[in-house]
Structure 1
């Protein structure tokens, strides 16, 4: 399958490498391919320049967001939550029409030090707040902005390196969740998760349930800090 991944961050790279290894044709989208390849410094999260990753995975194609979206039969959104809606709606109207868009972005709003009303300090700085919350979600905002696209929220309750390799915890016996308003799109997302190695996948319902999946990010961070590392989550029922 031709799969487009929009974004070049650490999470997007996990998906690109794994999907390539599974035999898919992967196109990675970025705002400016030349600028992306020209960077020589790590990004704000300490991730090595994309050019280093690309040299290790020459089978991947790097293109603009529009070119990648047009080439993909299925599209994965790895654009950061603060910029996702603007970047996706800037694409040509037919680039995503009728396609499944898997969104795993967290709607983080990063603040300047001291700006938080009630600070939550972490080893990497103040924990960003979430916006939207409660009565809306980033996934729903994307769906409203792209009514002809079938948006599915998934991957968001784990670090992406665990999403693409669930077997590293409990032999893969932990739980992934998905939400969306289109059954065929959720089925496509489920097939991808199964290919990654997930055996326990819970459909939590319509896209409105993405509110809970996105807001879980803060609890996941709290657990990660308490456990001092990554982990898997199993729903026992």
Structure 2
């Protein structure tokens, strides 16, 4: 399958490399491929320049967002939450009828707030939107002809693509969306990653719960000293 991964951060790289390993035809989308390849310094998260990473994966193509989406059968969205709706709206015609697996978190970094939440690496980002809306819903409204499935937002993407790295894979991943066929397609992809327990939370409005979980996930990870973990729904 031809799959476009939108975003060049650590999450996008995790999906792209795993999808290539699984035999898919993979391209990565970015705003300007020449600018992305021209970077020589690590990003603000300390991740190596994309060009250095890409050199180890000669089968993965890098192109601009529109071209990546245009040739894809399925799209994985990892564009940062502050820019995702704007970017995706700009390439909407290339997304018509396609499934978009969206794992983006609507973080606002370095927020000015009365009671900041200090963390080991700075101030906890704020969520916007939150509670009365979600990024997943905003993307679906902006792209009414696409099929948005919120998935993977409750885990680091390195764990999403390798669930057996935590507890032998015996934990739960959640999805939400309005289109049954798209959720089946995303579930099949997640099972190819190794997920055995994929829990459908229903319509895209449940993306609110998935995105708001991000803070609890961070708090648990701080308590564990940064270690990876999973959450299991016990029936």
Map of 1:108 onto structure 2: 107
Offset at 1:110?
1.1
Offset at 1:136?
0.5
**Deviation readout 1:66-85 (Å, 9 max, x if unpaired):** 00000110001010000000
Partner of residue 179 from structure 1, selected from 176, 181, 184: 176
Give the gaps of 5 or more residues in structure 1: none
Tell me how far apart the structure 2 counterparts of residues 132 and 155 of structure 1 sit (CA, whole Å): 18
Tell me, yes or no, if the aligned pair for 2:77 and 2:104 is still in contact at 8 Å.
yes
Tell me how far apart the structure 2 counterparts of residues 226 and 3 of structure 1 sit (CA, whole Å): 36
Cα-Cα RMSD = 0.7
Normalization by structure 2: what TM-score?
A: 0.98
Map of 1:4 onto structure 2: 4
Q: What SS is found at the alignment partner of 2:93?
A: coil
Offset at 1:4?
0.3
Offset at 1:90?
1.0
Normalization by structure 1: what TM-score?
A: 0.97
Tell me how far apart the structure 1 counterparts of residues 137 and 172 of structure 2 sit (CA, whole Å): 23
Tell me, yes or no, if the aligned pair for 2:177 and 2:183 is still in contact at 8 Å.
yes
Map of 1:69 onto structure 2: 69
**1:128 equivalent in alignment to 2:119:** no
Tell me how far apart the structure 2 counterparts of residues 135 and 94 of structure 1 sit (CA, whole Å): 28
Offset at 1:233?
1.1
Partner of residue 155 from structure 2, selected from 154, 158, 161: 158
Map of 1:230 onto structure 2: 228
Offset at 1:116?
2.1
Offset at 1:220?
0.2
Tell me, yes or no, if the aligned pair for 1:30 and 1:63 is still in contact at 8 Å.
yes
Q: What SS is found at the alignment partner of 1:37?
A: helix
Q: What SS is found at the alignment partner of 2:3?
A: strand
Tell me how far apart the structure 2 counterparts of residues 94 and 128 of structure 1 sit (CA, whole Å): 32
Tell me how far apart the structure 1 counterparts of residues 109 and 167 of structure 2 sit (CA, whole Å): 33
Offset at 1:185?
0.3
State how 1:1-237 maps to structure 2 within 5 Å: 1-91=1-91, 93-111=92-110, 115-228=112-225, 229-237=227-235
Give the gaps of 5 or more residues in structure 2: none
Tell me how far apart the structure 1 counterparts of residues 151 and 183 of structure 2 sit (CA, whole Å): 9
Moved over 4 A (4+): none
Tell me how far apart the structure 2 counterparts of residues 194 and 102 of structure 1 sit (CA, whole Å): 14
Tell me how far apart the structure 2 counterparts of residues 173 and 182 of structure 1 sit (CA, whole Å): 27
Between the two proteins, the alignment pairs up a number of residues equal to 234
